[in-house]
Amino acid sequence: MFDTNNRNYVVNEVEHCWIPISDGIRLSARLWLPETPHSRPTPAVLEYIPYRKRDMVRLRDERNHPYFARHGYACVRVDMRGSGDSEGLMVDMYGPEELKDGVEIIEWIAKQPWCDGNVGMMGTSWGGTSCLQIASLQPDALKAIIAVCSTDNRFEDDIHHMGGCLLTDTVEWGATLPVILASPPDPATVGSDWRRIWQERLAGCEFPLKSWVKHETRDAYWRRGSVSEVPGSITCPMLLVGGWVDRYSNTVMNLLSESDNQCWGIIGPWGHHYPDVGVPKPDIDFQQEAVRWWDRWLMGKDNGMDEEPQLRVWLQEYVAPSDKILQKPGKWISENTWPSSNVKPKNYQLSSGELQTSDHTNPTETAFVPNTVHVGLTAGDTGYFGRDGGLPLDQREDDVLCLVFDTAPLKEPLDILGHTVLHVSLEVDQPIATLAVRLNDVSPTGEIGRVTYAIRNLALDQIGEGCQDLKPHEPRQICIEFPNVAYRFAKGHRIRLAFSSAYWPLIWPSPKLAEITLHLAKTQLTLPIRPENLAEKPIQFAKSDHAGESESSVLINNQALQRWSNLDATSNIISTGWHQPLTRVQFRDIDLQLAYETRAEHKITVGDPNSAFSRVQHRLQFSRNDSIVEVVGTAQLHSTLTDYVLSGSLEVLENGELIFERQWNPSLDRMYS
């Protein structure tokens, strides 16, 4: 065993090497190898994603892997099959070949002379989900994982659907993923074979948006790759990391609740990022925390990592709503175990526009949910993905279009931690309908912040697997579970519950305007209350420090993202969207320039759900010397009463000449949404 106290090893970098897969395909890897005395082997850390290591996430890789290598870990960053500099084809996310390849990569790493046989795996987003999926297959050499911003439930907690409703984010991803996969390998790394690899990749291009829209229920398509379907299958230690303004924050507490194994969670105030660059801040020194984790589970050091509280989260406090918030007020809190006996349910009844802790509801009292199609314009993005802005705005503009219930001003602060639950009795006049519910914080000055929200497709059952027989005006009882949250309602603030039958442009509207009636005597809100002044060990994280990070790149032009939301008073068309102008990054060490641009637009006519329209275009450009390759993808969606109508296109230009073009125009039956 080498000296584990030496934390400043010289690092040898290998820009590209091939990893052979059993079916003959080769995957491209970038290595960072610590120079140890007598060339003694070390544990290894794998990151395995389709986001191009050569350019697209090069800077992120160079924040993480050289740091781990200096601390004694061989680091391996692999492009998935059909992406980056790797061979083969990828036609959709999380396919069986992808998982099989991951297991083979771990086996290959464990057998290398520079590896001692102990492998850890880490990743964020797709990479974090891949960690969960591959860990569930239990490769012998995989000893621990760190999964950041991941999903354990692909139907409920991914970018495609929420509560059984179609997210418009899936259109954006439907334009973006084909562009990433159609981009060429770099001749400077893979050599003269690069064009063959690229042409095979282009010939196999698919339009995965079709599958994401087609599968409207939690069927076998979505269950594949969802580790929530195989509880207990992950037996290695897990460190799960999330952010409260990320779409993927549920996974941490979900898996803590289900796991009988060694599992720990951290949730901060940030969005869809590694937490060392998390926004809103405070961020944390993720690399230092990760090294503590690897030291415990890959090197066997008794460093107290396994004695940390099982759950450490940022308890958010009110801040004036804005689409850009750099710092979230609050504090770190912890629970030794999750679920926690510290958290107790508190019930609220709904009556006459009020949330009451005592039951004074008229047994026959009802309330009508307005069927306004354009509620949701203050929602922001579904997740804070690193774009400029996108956090929820002041909710007043939406709340005036909704059915709302408020508490009296709070006499003391009130903390919640976990799932808010709503049991609601309702009737609806359409076979397909949507219910959107927001938990808001009403400040004494009148501004309203969104704390959390839930969406429910009333045509589907509780877990989204099957169709409910929605008979017009027949009362039914449903249970809606909100995403996990940690939040303090301040003294003098009011808690608000807001109901709507749409949430545009986050979710696709139901085919007809539905009249939803609530039966208030049988409707109850339950908040997960955590005592304010628990005696607990103070939680501290080191602040991130990137003072010594790579200076191998420079931003050439980085124009600010532009957002808009307009109502045409003549046509009653509401247009919303955003545009990231062309941004260029020059990688000086590899003499390569990467440029990217995205434009998203959504339109709807007031009162007409079937006027909904979304279109996204994504562009990547790669240039070196006099050679330029540009890949442009477009995805578009509109609907009728009975169909989803999609269109997609992919264009590839080399030095200004169109060398490849493909179009897709599927029309899909609209069954349940």
HEC profile of 563-627: EEEEEECCCCEEEEEEEEEEEEEEECCCCEEEEEEEEEEEEEECCEEEEEEEEEEEEEEEEECCE
Q: How far apart are CA 333 and CA 311, in angstroms?
A: 8
Q: What CA–CA distances, in Å, run from 361 to 352, 427, 642?
A: 8, 18, 40
Residues 390-429: b if buried by 16+ CB within 10 A, e if exposed: bbbbbbeebbebbbbbbbeeeeeebbbbbbbbbebbbbbe
**pLDDT above 50 (res 411):** yes
Please tell me the predicted confidence (pLDDT) of residue 1.
40
How confident is residue 310, by pLDDT bands cut at 50, 70 and 90? very high
Phi–psi pair at 483, nearest 5 degrees: -60, 155
Q: How far apart are CA 366 and CA 15, in angstroms?
A: 66
Contact in structure between 460 and 561 (CB atoms under 8 Å): no
Percent of the residues in the chain that have a pLDDT greater than 90, as a whole number: 88
Q: Residue 127: helix, strand or coil by DSSP?
A: helix
Lowest mean pLDDT among 161-165, 236-240, 268-272, 385-389: 385-389
Structure-model confidence comparison of residues 279 and 499, the more confident one: 499
Give the pLDDT confidence of 569-587 residue by residue, as tens digits. 999 999 999 999 999 999 9
CATH class (in words) of the domain with range 11-154+231-335: alpha beta
What is the average pLDDT score of the chain? 94
Lowest mean pLDDT among 39-48, 220-229, 513-522, 552-561: 552-561
User: Does 11-154+231-335 match 344-530 in CATH topology?
Assistant: no
Domain limits of the chain? 11-154+231-335, 155-223+553-588+591-673, 344-530
Please tell me the predicted confidence (pLDDT) of residue 190.
95
CA angle 511, 156, 205 (to 5 degrees): 80
How confident is residue 466, by pLDDT bands cut at 50, 70 and 90? low
Please tell me the predicted confidence (pLDDT) of residue 550.
62
Please tell me the predicted confidence (pLDDT) of residue 225.
94
As beta bridge partners, residue 663 has 649
Give the pLDDT confidence of 623-660 residue by residue, as tens digits. 999 899 999 999 999 999 999 999 999 999 999 999 99
Q: Which residues contact 116 (CB under 8 A, 6 or more apart)?
A: 1, 40, 41, 42, 43
Tell the CATH topology of 344-530. Answer: Jelly Rolls (2.60.120)
- Of the candidates 296, 238, 294, 298, which has an alpha carbon nearest to the alpha carbon of residue 118? 298
**pLDDT above 50 (res 311):** yes
Please tell me the predicted confidence (pLDDT) of residue 386.
63
Lowest mean pLDDT among 7-11, 21-25, 239-243, 507-511: 7-11
pLDDT mean over 53-78: 96
Please tell me the predicted confidence (pLDDT) of residue 535.
75
Structure-model confidence comparison of residues 556 and 270, the more confident one: 270
